[in-house]
Amino acid sequence: MTPPIIHLIASRSKTGKTTILENTLPVLKQRGLKVAALKGNLDHYELDLPRKDSWRFASAGAEIAGLTTEDSYILISSQLDINGSEAAAKLLKDLDLIIVEGNKKTSNPKIEVVRSDLNPEPLLLPNTIAVITDREDMKISIPVIDINDPLALANFICTRVINKKGQTESLTEKPGPKDRPDFYDQRGLTHFDQSGRPKMVDVSAKEQTVREAYATGEIIMRPETLEQVIAGNMAKGDVLGVAQVAAVMAVKETGRLIPMAHPLNISSVEVDFKTVKNEPARIEIGVRVKLAGQTGVEMEALTGVSMAALTIYDMCKAIDKDMKITNIRLIEKKGGRSGHYRREQD
């Protein structure tokens, strides 16, 4: 089955089609899509000029000609019965989508670019399914997408093109209103603005609910090191007592340590340790965090576990530099729009 093809067109050149495509491709890739981006309706391409090597290969009868480097390749071919985009689609059948920049004459779905300073009126050719524009006053019967919003364009492509072609539902947005300010929370893209720059998520519209997260981790050490910890004989003092305080402090400081995490009014922190003498000797760490607020506390629980493990390492490194911090993971979270999560396997 060949992937769906859409064309990004405009009534004239220099409208920014390449930049729009360049900004949208990373978003589509982050959503798990394999996308081919092609230039369409060209009179020729440099590789195929007469007397170039690729032209000579094709003239000699090669079905496909091209060039390769150690990490990339360019292929050239042609079929008399179909145009270049359809021929490419047959070769690219394992991809999810083909976006072609250009070719207004195609019968494939088209998305038109309209700029107020260059081509203020849309062509609205047959099979145009959306318009991308910087005009705020455009009133047409098909969707209008902000020219500076690659997330909105990616969302439109996923819902209108990919899902329409019968692709898996996981590649599209979850059902629901598309005008919510937190809509992109559902795609895991909330820490980037419309230009792809990092941002702190706006949670002001979210409902305050009781939220809870539990994370665990472990630090593996020599059996004799663990015995010293249990006996309380470490030179720096009570290892687990200090690690417990470190975990609580780290939970409260997560908003300062993790760039896009919110400063939170934590209501409860519980830290537990389990010493395991069986091979491998280790200390298992658990941190449970609670609050009533507008965002979850997974990062706080994970940060608490990490800092407890680092503190144990710091207090024991004089006698055991081979200790290994490992398996830090979220076990459970409760509250918020995503509901209850419980890790099924360790």
Within 8 A by CB and 6+ apart from 11, the residues are: 104, 112, 114, 119, 122, 123
The set of catalytic residues is 314
Q: Are strands 128-133 and 110-114 parallel, antiparallel or unpaired?
A: parallel
Within 8 A by CB and 6+ apart from 43, the residues are: none
Our measurement of the distance from residue 305's CA atom to the centroid of its chain's CA atoms, rounded to an integer in Å, reads 25
* Rounded-to-integer distance, Cα 72 and Cα 149, Å: 30
Nearest Cα neighbor of 145 from 189, 182, 188, 112 is 112
Which residue spans within the chain are E strands per DSSP?
A: 5-9, 35-39, 64-68, 73-77, 97-101, 110-114, 128-133, 144-146, 209-220, 268-276, 282-293, 324-334, 341-342
* Rounded-to-integer distance, Cα 213 and Cα 224, Å: 33
DSSP state string for 253-308? HHHHHSTTPPP----EEEEEEEEE-SSSPEEEEEEEEEEEESS--HHHHHHHHHHH
